Structure 1
C-alpha cells in the first residue's frame, strides 16, 4: 500500500478475529510492503494494515471493519504450486498419438465434501473431430487427497457416449471442468488443451555408408525424436532386424555380416514417442545396396567361422559380452557376432581378463602374399592392457618380426580401426599374423578383442565397387511436383531425396520422364532430362493448363551395354502448369461459429471453388474495425484456441485465397 507521507509498515493478520499475528517494517517509506512467513497452505487469512509517521500519528485500513482476505496456495502432485479453491484440470502430455490413452487429472479443494470417502468429479473431453465431446468421471486417489484421476482413449470414429474421443491429426484435445466454486464463491470454467500428433516422423537424407566387403551402415535423420529399425536380408523377403529403441533424431544402424559384392535388400522404419510411425523401402518399394570388395586382398577373416587360427591359453573365438575390468570387452562384435579375443567366455580366474604372468598368442593360418611388395594390415580392435603388460602384433615369415607393441596402458572406449604397414615379405610364400599378450606378476585387464582382420596390397584402395553390373541403385523416386508460381510461366518443379546407394556403381545421376498419360512407360522417348546430379529440377517446357505425370529414376555410373543400371522405380506424380488463377468467390454467410469444450471458438464454412486456402481475421469491434489476421488454413474450419475462456467480444471474417495469394471478397 502507499501513504502520502513517510511512515512505518505494519500488518496484523490471522485465520479469524481477533487478529493474533503481526509483521512489521519499521523504516519510514511511502511505498509499503510486508512479507508474511510461516503461513499454512490452502488457508484463508484476514488482515488489516497500519502506518505511523515520524510524529507518532497513525493511520489504519481494516476494510471498514470487515478486514481484507487472502488465501494461500498449495503444492499438488503433477501440478506444483496452484490455487487451492480453483479447480485445475490437466492432461498428462502436450501431444498424443491417434489411438493413445489420455490421462486426465483434476485438483479442487472444494470437492472434498467428505474427508472419509473417495469422491468423484466429472469433466468434458472434446476434440476438433468430436466437438460435442464425451463426459468422463474422475475418481479421487484417496480420501481427502483432492486429486482426481481418469482417462479416455482416442479413437477414429465419432459416436457420442461411447467413452472414446474421436480424433484426427492436428486436433485440439481439451479437458473442460465447470468449477462451481473457485474459492471466492463464484463459478468458473477451467480448461487444458493438448494436440493430437498422428503423423509419423520424417525419414530424411537416408543413405548407406561405410560399405565394406562384409558390413554397411544405414543412416537417416528424423524431424522428431524416434526409434530406429532396419529390416534387411539377401532377398526381398528380408528376414533380419536391427533396431535401437532410443528416441533420437540422428539415426545410424550397422548391418552385417555379408559377403563381398552381395546384394542386400532393406527397409527403414521409425516410431515416435506417441506410436506414430513412418517407413521407407516397404510396400513394394524396397531399397537395396551392394557390398564392395577389398582392393588388393591377400587375407581376410571376420571370425564368423573357424578358419584355423592357433590359439594359446585363454585366446578364443566367441561372442563378446562386456566382461572384464576397466571399460570391459565390447557388448557386440564390430561385424557379425563373433570376434577373436582373450577370455571372452569369462572362464578364467579374472573373468573376462587375461591372467597375470602369462605370455599367450593367437596366430593366423598361413597365407601367400602373392608377390605383393608392400603389405598392409588393417583391423578393428578394442584393447585393454596395463602399463606393465605388453600387447604385440608380429608378422611371421621365417622368424617373428614385431610390427607393433603397446608400450603403455591402453583402454579403447569402443571399436577402433588400426593400420600397420607390414612391408615387403620378399620371396616368402607363407606368412602368418600373430597377436600376443604378455602380463606381469599381478596385472590383468580385458585384453584383446579383434574383428575384421585384413592383409592387403597397401598400394590399392581399401574397397572397390564390384562394377559387375549386378546391382542397381536404391532410390525412392520423385517426392514432390508443384507449380512454384501458379500465375507465371515458371514451369513445374520436381524434388526427390538422394539415392541411398548406387548398387555396384560408385556414383550416379538422375533422369526425368514425362507424359500426359498417367500409366505411361518410362523410356527414351519420354525422357526429358538426364545426367542430373542434384535433388531438384524445374521443367520449363511443361505444357500450360495440361496435367502431366512424372517419373524420376536413378542410374549408376557403370558401363553396362553402354549405360549404367537404372533403379527402375515406378513412382509417379502429377501437376499442372498454370499462368492465371481466377479470383476466388466469397465465403459469404456460410461461416458457422461454435464454442468447443467451452474453450475454443470453432469457425467452419463451405468449400469455395478456386480457393487454395483461407485467411481468418478477428476484430474486437462489432463493426470489424482494425482486424488482426489470426491464422491461415487449407481446411474448411479453424479453431481460435481459448478464445471462449478469455471472456472478450470477438467478430470473425474468413477470406478465400487462390494459389496466387489473391483474396476473394
Structure 2
C-alpha cells in the first residue's frame, strides 16, 4: 500500500483524545494505490496503469537511475489511471506513481521501492572505461606518458531489453603518434537487462601505444563505435598525456574527515554517509592505500537508504584551457533492481546547480572473484579520468561531487582525487617511457699513442646501438659511462662521443673495460667487457760525466745507458756523434743524447754542460821550457830559492821536485810545502832533479842547470797550467 503525504503542514495535537487523532488520520488519508502495471512496451514507449480507491489525479516520475528526473502528469481525476510515456531513449527505467485526491492529499506508491521496466530495444554504451599504464612491461606511475603502453578496458553495457547480437566494439584515435590495437573487438552478444537479475556487461580490451614524440599535455581523443544487429552508437573520451605543472586540487583523504574545504550532503538515512573510518573494515583493493573515502551501503543493512554526496571545495578554473578530473575508483555494485547508482557531478556556480558528467550502474573496477567475504581477494581499483573542459574551463567557482544513491547495495571507494587545469599543451611534466638500449657491441681498447707515451688507454665504442630504446623522442638526452672493472671511471659522457681516454689506471696493468649506454629515460644497458692496458715503456736517456776537464787532459768523457738500438749525440743542438753510448767532449757546450730503446720508444736526455779549460805547457827544468836538453840539479847541491815578489806575489809557495828522467811527465818525487823567500832546499842524494816552485794560482817558476853551468831561474809565462795543489799536488801534500 502506498504512503500518504499531505500537502502543507500538519500540527500534532498529542494532548487531545485518541478518538480525535484517529478521526483526523482518517480524514487526511490519501488515495489507496493498487495494481501498478506496465504494458504496451515498445522500443520508445511504455504505458503505466494503476487504480485508486477514490478519484485522484495521475503522475508518473521516471528515469534511468534512482534520481528519476522526468515526469508526466494528468490533472483529470479518476480511479483508473493510465499514462503513456513516449519518445523514450532505449534504456531501463525506474518509476513511481502518485495520485492526489480532491483534498490535496497525495499518495506516493513506491513503498520505499521503485517499479521497473525495460524498453523493447538494444542500446550499447560505455558504462565505464579505465586503463593501466606500463613502461617496458613494468607498471607505470598512473599517468599516461610518452612511450608508454596503456591497457585500456571498456565496460560495455546493454541498456535495453533486447539482446545486442553480433556486437562489435571499435576504438580509433585522431591523435598523431598514438595507435590502438586491435582496431575492433567482437563481443558476440551483450545480453539485455534482466529485471530478475542485473545488468550483464561485457569488457572489451585494447592496447594504446603512445609514441615517444607525443608531447606532454597532449589530449588523446578516442572514439568508441559500438555496433550490433540492432543498431550502432558512438561515444568519445579523452586521456591527457602527463600531468600539469600544478594541480588545482590534490586530496588523498589522509587527514581530516571530511578534508578541509570538503563537505558532506547526507540526504538518506542520517549518518549513513561517506567516511574514511571504513566501518566494515573492508580490505583496500589494489591501487589504493592509506585512507579512502567509502560509502558502505552493505554495512548499513537492508533497511538503510543512502542518497549522499561528497563535495569538493570551490576551484578557480578561470585561466584553464582544459580541465581534467582524475581519481581512483572501486565501485562494487550489486546491480540488481537498480539498487545503487554512482554519479560524478560538476557545478560551475559553487554548488547551486549540478550536471552529471558520469553515471555508473555497474561495477567500476574489478570486484573480487569469489564474492563475499572480500578479504581473500579485495579486487582492483581503476584510475578514472574525466574531461571536464566543456563545463569547467573558464569558470571561477567549480565544485565536484561524488553522489551515491543506494539501498542495501555494496560500496563505493574513492581515493587520490586530483583536478588538473591545463593552460596549454606542453605546460606539464611527464616521464617518457623507453626500452632498454639493445644491440650493443663490445668496445675496443688501444694505447692512446702507443707504449712510448704516458697518456692512457683509449676506449672506443659504437655511436649507436641497434636500438637506443628512446627512438622518436625529440632532443634525446643520451649518454655513456665507461667502467674500469666495477669502477665508473669516466662519469657521464654526453651523447655524440665515441671514445674516452682512461688516464687513471696503473701503467702496464690490464683492466676489463665496458661501456654503459644511458637513454633519455635513464634506461641503461652495458656492453660485454674487453681487456685493455695502458702500456708505457718510456725512453729517458741520462748523461754521466764531468762538467770540466782535468789538466793535463783536455777532454771530458760522457756516457749514457748501453744496449739501445741507436744513439745520437748533439752539442748545442747540432749532431756531433751517433750510434755509441759514449762520447768524448773536446769543446765546451751543452750536450744531449737521443736513443731508441728496445720497445721502439725514442727519447732525448736533458742538457749536460761541459767546460773545457786550457792546460799550460810544462816548463823545462832548465827554465827554458819546450824541448831544450834537460839539465838537472845534482844531488847534494844547495839551492837558495828567491822570488821576485812583484811577479810572484803569492803569500806562500810550494816546491816540487822529481828525477830529471821524468820531467816530461812531471813525474815528481816529493814536495816542500810553504817555502818562503830565502828558503833553501838540498836535493836528496842519488839523483839529478828538476824542481818547480809555484804558488796556488797560475804562477810557477822552474829551476835547473844552465848549459854552461850554474843555476838559472825563470818564471813561466803561461797564464794557466800545471800550478799549485790543484794539478801537481794530487795527494794533497800541500795545503
TM-score for both structures, normalised by structure 1:
0.29
User: Highest CA radius of gyration, 1 or 2?
Assistant: 2
TM-score for both structures, normalised by structure 2:
0.27
